[in-house]
Structure 1
Amino acid sequence: MNQFFGREAEMKGLKDLLRKKTSSLVVLRGRRRIGKSSLAEEFSKLFPTHYMFTGLPLSKNPNAKAQYKEFRRQLTEQGIPSYDSTDWGDLFSILAKHAQEGQVLIVLDEITWMGSKDPDFLGKLKIAWDLYFKKNPKLILIISGSNSAWIEKNILSSTGFMGRVSHKILLKELPLHVCNKFWGIKKDLISPYEKFKILALTGGVPRYLEEILIDMTAEENISRLGFVNSGILFTEFENIFSDLFNGRHKKYRSVVKCLANGSASLDQLSKKLKKSKGGDLSSALKDLEESGFLSRDFTWQIKDGIPSKLSQYRLSDNYLRFYLKFIEPNKKTIEKQTFRGLPISWLSIMGLQFENLVLNNLNRIIDILNIPSHDLLTSSPYLQTKTIKRKKCQIDLMIQTKFNQLYICEIKFSKNELGNE
Structure 2
Amino acid sequence: MTRFIGRKKELESLKSVLKKQSSSLIVIRGRRRIGKSRLIAEFGSRMHTIFFAGLPPSPETTIKSQREEFARQMQRELQIPLPRSDDWGDLFWTLDNSLKKDRVIIVLDEISWIGSKDPDFLGKLKNAWDLRFSKNPKLILILCGSVSSWIEKNILSNTGFVGRISLDLIIREMPLSDCQKFWKDQEGNISHYEVFKILAVTGGVPRYLEEIISTQTAEENIHRLCFRREGILFNEFDRIFNDLFAKRNEIYSKILKFLAERTATLSEIYKILEVQPSGASVNYMKDLIQAGFVTRNHLWSIKTGKVSNLSYFRLSDNYIRFYLKMILPNKNQISDSLFQKRSITTLPSWSSIMGLQFENLVLNNFLPLCNMLNIPLEEIQQKGPFFQRKTKIQQGCQIDLLIQTYYNCIYICEIKFSKNHIPSSAIEEVKEKIKRLVIPKGYSIKPVLIHVNGVSPKIDESRFFAHIIDFSQLFKS
Assess same fold via TM > 0.5.
yes
Q: CA offset at residue 100 of structure 1?
A: 5.4
Distance 1:138 1:27, change over 3 A: same
Tell me, in whole angstroms, the C-alpha distance in 2 between the residues paired with 1:156 and 1:359: 28
In the other structure, the counterpart of 1:306 is 306
Q: Where does structure 1 differ by over 4 angstroms across 4 or more consecutive aligned residues?
A: none
The yes-or-no answer on 1:344 pairing with 2:343 is no
Stretch deviating more after TM superposition (30-39 or 300-309):
300-309
- Percent of matched pairs sharing the same residue: 53
In the other structure, the counterpart of 1:386 is 390
Tell me, in whole angstroms, the C-alpha distance in 2 between the residues paired with 1:15 and 1:303: 44
Stretch deviating more after TM superposition (76-85 or 219-228):
76-85
The yes-or-no answer on 1:68 pairing with 2:71 is no
Stretch deviating more after TM superposition (115-124 or 261-270):
261-270
Tell me, in whole angstroms, the C-alpha distance in 1 between the residues paired with 2:393 and 2:330: 48
The yes-or-no answer on 1:78 pairing with 2:77 is yes
Cα offsets for 1:233-279 (capped at 9, x unmatched): 01110011110000000011000000001211112223344332324
Tell me, in whole angstroms, the C-alpha distance in 1 between the residues paired with 2:229 and 2:351: 22
Residue identity matched to 1:4: F
The yes-or-no answer on 1:58 pairing with 2:61 is no
Report if aligned partners of 1:99, 1:139 keep a CA contact under 8 Å in 2.
no
Partner of 2:243, secondary structure, is helix
Cα offsets for 1:4-25 (capped at 9, x unmatched): 2111111111111000111111
Unaligned runs of at least 5 residues, structure 2: 426-477
Tell me, in whole angstroms, the C-alpha distance in 1 between the residues paired with 2:262 and 2:315: 7
In the other structure, the counterpart of 1:408 is 412
Distance 1:66 1:188, change over 3 A: farther
Stretch deviating more after TM superposition (372-381 or 393-402):
372-381
Stretch deviating more after TM superposition (17-26 or 76-85):
76-85
Greater RCO (CA < 8 Å, at least 6 residues apart):
1
Partner of 1:410, secondary structure, is strand
Residue identity matched to 2:347: I
1:197-346 → structure 2 map (5 Å cutoff): 197-340=197-340, 341=342, 342=344, 344-345=347-348, 346=350
Tell me, in whole angstroms, the C-alpha distance in 2 between the residues paired with 1:193 and 1:354: 11
Tell me how many residue pairs correspond in the alignment. Answer: 420
In the other structure, the counterpart of 2:431 is none
Partner of 1:228, secondary structure, is coil
Residue identity matched to 1:296: R
Partner of 1:58, secondary structure, is coil
In the other structure, the counterpart of 1:164 is 164
Q: CA offset at residue 59 of structure 1?
A: 4.4
Tell me, in whole angstroms, the C-alpha distance in 2 between the residues paired with 1:415 and 1:185: 25
User: What's the TM-score, normalizing by structure 1?
Assistant: 0.96
Residue identity matched to 2:51: M
Q: CA offset at residue 284 of structure 1?
A: 1.1
Tell me, in whole angstroms, the C-alpha distance in 2 between the residues paired with 1:83 and 1:268: 52
Q: CA offset at residue 374 of structure 1?
A: 2.0
Tell me, in whole angstroms, the C-alpha distance in 1 between the residues paired with 2:173 and 2:49: 27
Stretch deviating more after TM superposition (328-337 or 339-348):
339-348
Stretch deviating more after TM superposition (259-268 or 365-374):
259-268
Cα offsets for 1:106-134 (capped at 9, x unmatched): 11111111111211111111111001110
Unaligned runs of at least 5 residues, structure 1: none
Stretch deviating more after TM superposition (182-191 or 156-165):
182-191
Partner of 1:18, secondary structure, is helix
Report if aligned partners of 1:108, 1:144 keep a CA contact under 8 Å in 2.
yes
Tell me, in whole angstroms, the C-alpha distance in 2 between the residues paired with 1:264 and 1:139: 46
Stretch deviating more after TM superposition (87-96 or 243-252):
87-96
- Of structures 1 and 2, the larger Rg is shown by 2
Residue identity matched to 1:388: K
Residue identity matched to 2:217: T
Partner of 1:309, secondary structure, is strand
In the other structure, the counterpart of 1:357 is 361
Report if aligned partners of 1:56, 1:114 keep a CA contact under 8 Å in 2.
yes
Distance 1:262 1:188, change over 3 A: farther
1:26-45 → structure 2 map (5 Å cutoff): 26-45=26-45
Q: CA offset at residue 402 of structure 1?
A: 1.0
Report if aligned partners of 2:78, 2:98 keep a CA contact under 8 Å in 1.
no
Tell me, in whole angstroms, the C-alpha distance in 1 between the residues paired with 2:290 and 2:203: 18
Tell me, in whole angstroms, the C-alpha distance in 2 between the residues paired with 1:322 and 1:364: 24
Report if aligned partners of 1:3, 1:210 keep a CA contact under 8 Å in 2.
no
Tell me, in whole angstroms, the C-alpha distance in 2 between the residues paired with 1:99 and 1:79: 8
Distance 1:266 1:223, change over 3 A: same
Report if aligned partners of 1:264, 1:314 keep a CA contact under 8 Å in 2.
yes
Tell me, in whole angstroms, the C-alpha distance in 1 between the residues paired with 2:322 and 2:414: 22
Q: CA offset at residue 301 of structure 1?
A: 1.5
Partner of 2:49, secondary structure, is strand
Distance 1:79 1:27, change over 3 A: same
